[in-house]
Structure formats: structure tokens, C-alpha cells
Chains A and B, each alone.
Chain A
Amino acid sequence: MAGLNIIQLKADIKSRGLTWVPIELPADSKPRGLGWDPAPAEVTRAALETSQRLMVTRMSHLFQQPMTLGSAPKSLGGPAATPPYPRTFDWRTRGVIGAVTDQGYCGSCVSHSTTGVVGSMVGVEHGGASVHLSEADQHFCSSHGPNCHGWNNGDALNQIKTRGVVSDADFPYMTAFDSPPVGDPADVPDHLWIAHCRAVAERNRKIYQITEISAWTGNDRKTYIANVGPLACGYTVYEDFRDHYGGGVYRHVSGSVCGGHAVMVVGYSDDENCWICRNSWGAGFGGAAHADGTGAGFFKIGYGECNIDGEAFYGAQGVIAPANRNWGGWWPVAGGAAASDSSVFGVSRSPNKLDIFTSGTDHGTYTAAWQPGDTAWRGWWRVQGGVTAPGTSITAVSRSADHLDIFCVGTDHRIYTAAWQNGDTSWRGWWPVAGGVAAPGTSVFGVSRSADHLDIFCVGTDHGTYTAAWQPGDTAWRGWWRVQGGVTAPNTSITAVSRNTDKLDIFCVGTDQRIYTAAWQAGDTSWRGWWPVAGGVAAPGTSVFGVSRAPDKLDIFAVGTDMQVYTAAWQAGDTSWRGWWPVGHFKVAPGTSIHAVSRGPNKLDIFAVGQDGGIYSAAWQAGDTAWRGWWRILGGSAAPNTMVTAVVRSADHLDIFAVGTDHHIYTAAWQP
């Protein structure tokens, strides 16, 4: 671009005997507006505060550092000599950016940008491809209302967080309009299309939600894009962009303002000093696809162009997807109801048979059963005599085919057991287990480490860890033995896993809220441990549950002090536990724990009650580099202070049980 030397120009004018006369602007002239105002001061301030915080914590929020006790989150690398992002990045190369959409003659760009971001995060967080989410459900059925007027990215993402959005398959965009679309005659002079909100049947079972929204400015935008996912941004469209963009890096030159516009930022290039964006003006925008990645609906816009820095870029994380179609439920289990703060635990005593147990509203022990061929659950039957202490649950173990042993804490806080085996017409028991007494608010958990062997664990009144055992030939339980040193926090229970024949691993939350483990195997004369598990710290009133997904492999799950779900793992050969890793961006309700099962070798499924009371699941299997999920299971909700539990009744079959908000007991099932 040629320069204009104003001093030289004035000298030339003077040398010609002319006079420099500045032309005054007309008195009524106004500076040309931006067309849309920069973000409100509070938004900008919040974004700047976020940036400042991230500079201090080194993106800990973003990258989910493992939970720690009293130590600062790890840095990504401290004050970096080189930026924590590459020079160029484009999410299209990862296959998670959906097809270019078309908003038509409707100011719904915000819903195209935000659903684009969330749909892409489904692919990023759950693995696989993106999901085309319904811009129509988002724009016309949310707080925005059924019209084609504008919006803003922050409010729109908040709607996805609180209300969710269905897939485009459930509510295709163009079905929100008349066919063909009709301009609103009352909307003079714009005549934007008339839009309708269409009802989606069983919408609550079909929605995608997010758990976290973040706003980013400066180079943090690149760090986020390169490490987390795409962002939604706003900028000003000028006529030259609308009418003449044909690929390459756009920089505004001429034309008046068309209006504020929202798009999804899918990448950036420091080599070209630009953002890479997906527009929502159809695949014809920008011409045919060009070698530089622009065209066919995509464009590049120079850094700082068109007020693109006027407000923060928005990100979304923690996508909650609807449960897949292989889930069925929720079905009430034969009218059963549970006491407050009691959960339902079940067991499979032989392939495809289910038995579940709960403390009823009268604190009696109740059971129900299901087996193949049953069209409904049988029960509830009362297990005569078993009356439980408040806030405790009944737990069960099947030590061999068609044998059931159940355990409860009685109203005298002593520990009792009852048994049933094939051919029995009623339960036998209850017998007190060797004089054991449990702390208030704790339950007894057991495991069978080999056929017909039982080992149970409880928290004593001194909050120490105690165990008792039974094996064939015993006329009474042996124990209780104290597992030396294990002192637990209030309202937590000891849980156990047998990772191989005659091996036991137990887990507790200590008085310092750290998570500890101890182990025993055949030949040991005493328990080994306790060892802290990789610095893990649990929320008050929660317990740690574990599972063995293959011989000599352990995976445990806890609720951290930030109420997020964390996992740690150990396998033969490890000298210490690995973890803790957060499982997605998901927070659970207070007073609830995570239940885990393995439905096949090296497969893990975990279940939790979310902060909204909903019932959620996440999964991992060999080959996965990250957990998949979370999914909300069929709109189910759980009563406060209860947990959702699962049983594997045969390979790849899951049955889960929950106490509903009406305290009735419900079940749902999954199979391939």
C-alpha cells in the first residue's frame, strides 16, 4: 500500500501558491457505527479476570489437573519460553467439525455457532464424530424465543447448560419454518422468516448438555483451541465480507456494516495471522473449497479484524449426551420403596439372574428378584427380622451359583447376615456376625475371593477398619480382626475388591480425607498397608468403590473435594497407583458415591448421581485414550444421599438400580 507524506503534500500545495483548506464534516454527521456494540463491560471484565486467573494457575481449570491435597495444581510448564500451542491448528483435521450449516434468512447465527461448538465437543470428549445438534431447538424453543432475532454466545451456551439441546435429527432446522419459509409481514422492514418451536417427544431423554462454559481472550484462545476444542466468537460483518469473500484471509477494506455475526472458530494460523472459522451461510459461501482450507463455507479472518476481539471467545466442556438406544427403562421394581438415605444393592447369583436388596421405609430388609422369562420383577419380599439402622444399606454377595448372603447394620449397630440358597423357601438368619459393631451411617461390604469364601468389612465404632471371614466348614464367622491403622472419616464405608483368587484389596477414606488401600492374599498373616492412593482426596461423606476389570488389575473411583469424579488404577507390576485422573468434566451430588462394574475384560462402566439429581454413566474400554461419557440415562433422577448401583448379570449386560425422588425403586438395563 502506497504511503501519503502529508508534510510533502502541504509543501507541494504551498509551492504552487495554493492554500490548504481542511473540509469540515457536516454538522449533523455521525461517526459510522460498528453495527453492534463491543461486549458489555462486565463480560470483558470477566474474560480478563479469567485470563488473569489462568495465568496464575497455568490453565489448571482447562486441563483438569489430578486432585491433590494442599498443594498447588501442577503447571503446564511454568512461564513458557515457547507458547503452549502450535503455530497452526485446525480441528477439521481431527474429524470433529460437522458439516457447514445454513441459517437461511434468520438471525440465528449464535445458535449455529454454539451448537456447532457443543456438537464438536461430543466428538472430542466422547470419541468419534461430531453430532449435529438442533439449532432450531436452541434458538426457537429456549429462553431466546421463537423468532429470528439475534442473541449472544454466552447466554446461548448457558441455555445448553441448563436446558440442553436435542439433535438435529430430532428437530431439523428447516422444519422450524413454513415450507417454503415465509417472511414475517409484521417484521417490517426486515421480514425475517417466521420461526416455530416444535415439540420433541420425550425431549428430556434426548438432550445434550454441557457442564462448563468458559470465556477466553488473547493467546489463551489459541491454547484452548489447540488443547481442548473449538470456540464460538462474534465479529462485525461488512459488505465486502458478505458480497466478495472468495477465499483466503479476509481483512476488511470497504463497505458498510451488515451486522454482528457469530461463527465457530475451528482453528488458527500464526503463519497467516488469522482465525479459521466455520460460517453458517451454507456450503456456497467463499466459493468452492480452496487449497488453503477456505471456501465451501469456511473462511479465515485476520487477527483483530472486524471487532473480533470485542468480546471473549466462548468454549464448552463436559458434554452430557443422552444414553444410547440400547438402554431401556426406567421401570419401577414391583412397587418397592426405600428408607431415606438408603441405596439399592444387587447381585447376580448365576447368569442372567438378578436379586436386589434395600432397607424399606419401615427399615425392614426387602428383596426382589428377576430371571429370564420373567415379564416383571418378583417381590418385594421381606427378609423376616432384619431391621436396619438409619442411613445404612443392605449389601449382598453371591459366593457361588445360586447362593446369596446379605449383610446389614442393625438398629443396635451390630452386624447381621442372612443367607439363601437354591431350594430354600425362605431366608435363613439373621445371625450376628461375631459381635461386630459398626459406626453410625456406615454399611458393611463384602466380597467372595474364591468359591464359597466370604470376607466382609466394616467401620467400627472407633472408626477403625474391621474384617470378618467365613468359609465352608465354619460353624460361625471368624473375626472381627482389626486391619491395623485404617481409621476412617465419618460417614464413609470400607469397600473391597477381589482382583484374583484369594486376593483382597480394600479402600477407605481416612480422617484426613485421603484415600488409602490395604491388601491381603493367601499366605499373609496380616494385612499389608495402608498406603495412600496417589494423593487422592475424597469429599466428606463419600466412599471409594473399585472393580477388577481383569485379573490383578484394579480401578477405583472417588468423588474429589471439588465433587468431580476421579479414578486411579493399579495393575500387577506397578510399584504405585497411577492417577488420579478426572473422568470428564462432571460433578456429582453431595453425599453420593460412584459405583463401578466391569461387564467384560478390560471394560469399565461407572454410574453417578449428578448435581441435578440425574443419573449418569461413563465408560472406558481397552484402547480408549480417554473416558467416554458422560451420558444421562433416560432422564432418571435419584433421591438425595443415595447412589445408583449396577450389576452385570452376564457379559455386556448391565442392570442399574436407583431410589427415585419418590423413594420408589427403579431399574434400567443396557445390552449391546
Chain B
Amino acid sequence: MAEINPIVVMGVAGKVVDLPVAQGPATGYSWVLDLPPGVVRVEDAPAKQSDSEKLLGASASGAMRVVAPKGNYRLTARLVRPWEPDNPATTMLIDLVIG
């Protein structure tokens, strides 16, 4: 299992914050967020426009987004497939600092 060092993300209380993870292309994998109390996921950002010649295997959504009140939070993002939830391909730690 690959683990990425914590990434610090800054935000403003009550405002949408873009996380450094997205659903990615259709690979069976998806990022599952373990959100601490107070942090709420909202609709993802729009996807980057893909080259029309590269649409099969391209991502269809943008960054995952959350809203949170002021405070410091640690989020865990696990890249997993639904049929093997205990075997994440990658785990990412996100330190969310909301001012």
C-alpha cells in the first residue's frame, strides 16, 4: 500500500474547499473520504476538459469538495474498489486548516 505524506489544505469557514483528490477515471477505484465531525462533503468541482480523442479512460469529475467550520481537521482519503474495501491502492492524509 502506498501512502502519501499529509497534504495541508487551507480554507475559509463556510466556504467550499477543493481537496487534492478527485474520483479519477473509470477504473473501479474511487476515493473514499473519512470525514471528521463538522466537515461536510458537497458537490465535486467540474472536470477538466478532456481532449476529445482521449475520452475513454478520462476523468469525468473534478476535485472533491468539502465545507467546514473554523478549525483543524485530518481527513483520510482511501483509493479503494467496492469489492475490496480493505485493500486500498493508496491512502492519502489531508490536513484541513479552516480559518
Binding site for B on A (CB under 8 A): 33, 35-37, 40, 103-110, 148-153, 155, 180-183, 185, 188-192, 234, 237, 242-244, 256-262, 279, 281-282, 284-285, 287
Contact = CB atoms under 8 A, between A and B. Distances in A.
Interface in B79-99: 79, 81-84, 89-90, 92
B13 interface: no
Nearest to A40: B52
A152 B59 CA distance: 14
B58 interface: yes
21 contacts: A36-B58, A104-B89, A107-B57, A107-B58, A107-B59, A149-B50, A149-B57, A189-B22, A189-B63, A191-B24, A234-B56, A242-B26, A243-B82, A257-B60, A258-B23, A258-B60, A259-B61, A260-B58, A262-B57, A285-B83, A287-B83
B3 to A, nearest CB: 10
A152 B53 contact: yes
**Size range of the interface on B?**
35 or more
- What 5 A-B pairs have minimum CB-CB distances, sorted nearest first? A107-B57, A150-B57, A281-B28, A150-B58, A35-B60
Given A104-B89, A259-B26, A261-B26, A242 B82 contact: yes
B57 A284 contact: no
A28 to B, nearest CB: 12
Nearest to B25: A107
Contacts of A285: 28, 81, 83
A256 B61 contact: yes
Contacts of A284: 81, 83-84
Given A243-B30, A243-B82, A257-B60, A192 B53 contact: no
Contact of B57 (A108, A182, A257): A108
Contact of B82 (A37, A182, A189, A244): A244
A191 B89 CA distance: 12
B56 A191 contact: no
B66 interface: no
A529 B67 CA distance: 91
Most buried by A among B1, B21, B23: B23
A562 B18 CA distance: 59
Interface of A is mostly: loop
Contacts of A260: 26, 55-58, 60
A279 B26 CA distance: 11
Given A106-B27, A261-B56, 7 more contacts: A109-B57, A110-B56, A151-B56, A182-B2, A192-B24, A234-B55, A243-B30
A110 B57 contact: yes
A259 B79 contact: no
Contacts of B54: 149-152
B28 A149 contact: no
Nearest to B23: A258
A125 B82 CA distance: 38
B68 interface: no
A510 B56 CA distance: 52
A31 to B, nearest CB: 13
A257 B25 CA distance: 10
B19 to A, nearest CB: 7
Nearest to A262: B56
Contacts of A234: 55-56
Contact of A180 (B2, B19, B22, B59): B2
Contact of B90 (A36, A183, A244, A282): A183
Nearest to B58: A150
B73 interface: no
Contacts of A185: 4
Contacts of B28: 242, 279, 281-282, 285
B63 A152 contact: no
Contact of B89 (A36, A40, A181, A243): A181
A242 B56 contact: no
A222 B30 CA distance: 33
A370 B36 CA distance: 81
Contacts of B55: 36-37, 150, 152, 234, 260
B14 interface: no
B32 to A, nearest CB: 10
A640 B55 CA distance: 41
Given A152-B55, A189-B18, A242-B30, A180 B1 contact: yes
A314 to B, nearest CB: 11
A190 B60 contact: no
A152 B24 CA distance: 17
B79 to A, nearest CB: 6
B83 A105 contact: no
A37 B51 CA distance: 10
A593 B54 CA distance: 42
B64 interface: yes
B60 A259 contact: yes
Interface in B1-41: 1-2, 4, 18-30
A37 B21 contact: no
A190 B90 CA distance: 12
Given A105-B79, A105-B89, A189 B20 contact: yes
A105 B27 contact: yes
A109 B20 contact: no
Contact of A257 (B18, B24, B30, B61): B61
Contacts of A148: 25, 57
Contacts of A153: 56
A274 to B, nearest CB: 19
Contacts of A261: 25-26, 56-57
Contacts of B60: 33, 35-36, 257-260
B16 to A, nearest CB: 14
Given A181-B89, A183-B90, A281-B81, A105 B29 contact: yes
A150 B25 contact: yes
A107 B61 CA distance: 14
A515 B50 CA distance: 55
A187 B27 CA distance: 16
A189 B9 CA distance: 13
A243 B27 CA distance: 11
Most buried by B among A104, A151, A262: A151
B25 A259 contact: yes
B33 to A, nearest CB: 12
A259 B21 contact: no
Contacts of B26: 107, 109, 237, 242, 258-261
